[in-house]
Chains A and B, each alone.
Chain A
Amino acid sequence: MSKHSFLEIQGLKKSYPGQTKGEETVIFEHANFNIEKGEFICVIGHSGCGKSTILNILAGLDEASDGLVFMNGKEVSGPSLERGVIFQNYSLLPWKTTLENIVFAVRAKWPHWPKEKIIEHSKHYLSLVGLDHALDRKPAQLSGGMRQRVSIARAFSTQPELLLMDEPFGALDALTRGVIQEELIKIWSESKQTVFMITHDVDEAILLSDRILLMSNGPHAQIAESVTVSIPRQRKRTDIIHHPDYYKIRNHLVDFLINRSKDLSGVATQVTAGQQPKTINLAS
């Protein structure tokens, strides 16, 4: 391999010891995929296929049973500020105000910055998500949507090379979700960070991502396909549904989730260790 991708995942596997000795429950195995710099990748799969585990391994919060993760050609081990995480349950520190939650992250990243610079930087990212008016409120006084905005601001404020999002909009109502998705696109299009995001929402995946990784069902889950989203940016929720590729992609994803994800499970098919997900491009 002469040219390395920004992020390379090779032969990733997670298993737990089973009831009897020597037996093990394999959640997923032979996960191989690459992510290029600046790509927005979504992962879709049924519950229990291990997609959150993959994200946690990338974040350094969980350990793989086998396999390697390289970022910029260097092996990833343990958590790092170069990999920011947005959790589904926001994970804000409830005793800190909105601003203090961001300051906490910014100070962790740049401990030697003067206080004014840290606060200015933090306020900038809060204004990007439209929270200038709620700087001194505690998370308990914010709605779910506002909390997730704080969480997004916190993740972007440390300018990580890779952003990991674990179903960031899963707990929000549909209207709020739409608004925050567009805010996310706005911030992301300015920073062009690499994003690895887990979602259950097919429409969300098409709206946000460049490529969608489809996972088959666990146990022995695989990363089966990599679907290119051939709809040009800037995308808007209201416009993309009129694009000719939209329903092709959507139908393909839904068909995968409903019909094919269980057939492609590793129990049913033989998979070789080095297999890359099948690239699917449905562009007309």
Chain B
Amino acid sequence: MLKSLNFKATIVAFLLLVVLLGSWEWMNQKPQATQALSEYELLMGGASQQAQVPPPSEIIKLAYEELSNPFYDAGPNDKGIGIQLAYSVYRVLVGFFLAALVAIPVGFLIGMSPLMYKALNPYIQVLRPISPLAWMPLALFIIKDSELSAIFVIFICSIWPMLLNTAFGVSNVRKDWINVAKTHQLSPIQTAFQVILPAAAPTILTGMRISIGIAWLVIVAAEMLVGGTGIGYYVWNEWNNLDLASVIFSIFMIGLIGMILDMILAAAARFVSYQE
């Protein structure tokens, strides 16, 4: 039953793909030229009077070219898609892990101490809704480095879900398990690592998963601002080049990498999950 359900779902998904790509392809055909085009006309998009969204066939062709040599580097404005994505992933991971380094211990503190929770909560509530990009000018001024500023923006946007989820997970550890730690005379450090951390780990991982999703959303916008390298810069650069095929191709690549990042953390979450 399940197998046939999967099979049916695959068929439906495939049909949808054919219909969507087919109609996209069909609606965006270049009109046939009635006479031979000049070199200038070819460059400006053939005989069409209006700019067209490039059809899927063109994008697949571009994707094939780009992906068969993803790491070429031909100067500051011509790098392979692989290099651009690697820059973005690198910034996201650095910002994300720095945030985890701060958020998880602070979340522990807030979760374990009602006093610290009450004391820090107003700051968290004010800082959390700020769009991470709003920090960018201040970050650029203080850090004076666009690369580090982008990482800072990732840091500040990934910190909140991890912080709040850690605090929530830690404060909701079952009283029974804390009592087990107490009756076995565990020190506070041992209790934190042997009981509270494994008990709260699934909640913490959920926070990390939300964080990396947000970080990946934000990096594109951040790189459009700071420029230089990265997939966000690449998208904006290709828009300036009026190369819509490249824009659409990189949109798909952003989705693909975002999915992979999420899958990695989902696998980590499965690893620490437990059944009560």
Contact = CB atoms under 8 A, between A and B. Distances in A.
Interface of A: 59-61, 79-81, 83-85, 87, 89, 91, 93-95, 104-105, 108-109, 138, 140, 158
B58 to A, nearest CB: 51
Contact of B274 (A59, A91, A94, A158): A94
Identify whether the interface residues of A are mostly helix, strand, loop, or mixed: loop
A108 B275 CA distance: 24
30 contacts: A59-B183, A60-B182, A60-B183, A61-B179, A61-B182, A79-B182, A80-B183, A80-B185, A81-B183, A81-B185, A85-B179, A85-B183, A87-B179, A91-B177, A91-B179, A93-B177, A93-B180, A93-B199, A94-B274, A94-B276, A95-B198, A95-B272, A104-B184, A104-B194, A108-B190, A109-B184, A138-B274, A138-B275, A140-B275, A158-B184
Nearest to A85: B183
Interface string B199-218: 10100000000000000000
A109 B199 CA distance: 22
Contacts of A105: 184
Contact of B183 (A83, A89, A93, A95): A83
Interface residues of B, number: 19
B195 interface: yes
Given A108-B190, A138-B275, A140-B274, 9 more contacts: A79-B182, A85-B179, A87-B179, A91-B179, A94-B276, A108-B186, A140-B275, A140-B276, A158-B184
Chain B CB within 10 Å, residue with most, of A89, A104, A138: A104
B39 interface: no
Contacts of B275: 94, 138, 140
B172 to A, nearest CB: 14
Contacts of A60: 182-183
B274 A95 contact: yes
Nearest to B201: A95
A157 B1 CA distance: 48
Given A91-B176, A138-B275, A140-B274, A81 B184 contact: yes
Q: Which of A81, A93, A94 has the most CB of B within 10 A?
A: A93
